[in-house]
Structure 1
């Protein structure tokens, strides 16, 4: 079996910078995002999103590039006012689904950058 030629070749810091510029354009007004390269895996980004308003919710995601186009998103933490919360409620699941969609939209918007 041949190895895939469709591997991500963008340096991780450059990729994190591109995501940092692109993701806020896709979030709801007032939501804030911080994107950084993972310290261990060159294909993974760490995304921290703070919701706007009085909810004081914060979401952490690991976004891993499977190849130059496809991403795998894992929720790693949800906090409210600094305390972990149960992400299994319907309201939380809706928010998580919404943010996952924004992460996929960001990856799609960066296809020209990640797919050579």
Structure 2
């Protein structure tokens, strides 16, 4: 277990993610980031895909320490209806967005690692 704890206030973390995450996504994809009110070391991320697919993904992002994040998919929807995340296309998209979330966390290490 690391002693490297996240010490950035949650509101600053949210603002940093709101600035950097859109730069990591595909053109036209939209992201919303807000604090997880139950956990000061966590964020909630909602991603809407570009185009006609009308796919939306919700992720919980929790800092394990100042550098590492844990990501959980909390919901996947198409046109407002929950979809099966097990489909190959969905798995590929989820994997891709998880990678973008990790890239965002890496880009913010100068903010999160004191």
TM-score range (shorter-chain normalised) is over 0.9
1:45 aligns to what?
A: 43
Aligned-partner SS, 1:61: strand
Q: Residues of 1 paired with 2:37 and 2:78: CA distance?
A: 25
> How far has the Cα of 1:5 moved from its partner?
3.0
Task: Write out aligned runs for 1:1-116 (5 A).
Answer: 4-116=2-114
Gaps of 5+ in 2: none
Paired residue total: 114
Distance in 1, Cα, partners of 2:47 & 2:87: 19
> 2 CA distance for matches of 1:30 and 1:4?
38
**TM-score, normalization by structure 1:** 0.96
Measured against aligned partners, the alpha-carbon deviations of 1:56-87 in whole angstroms (never above 9, x if no partner) come to 00000000000000000000000010010000
Runs (4+) off by over 2 Å: none
Gaps of 5+ in 1: none
SS at match of 1:58: strand
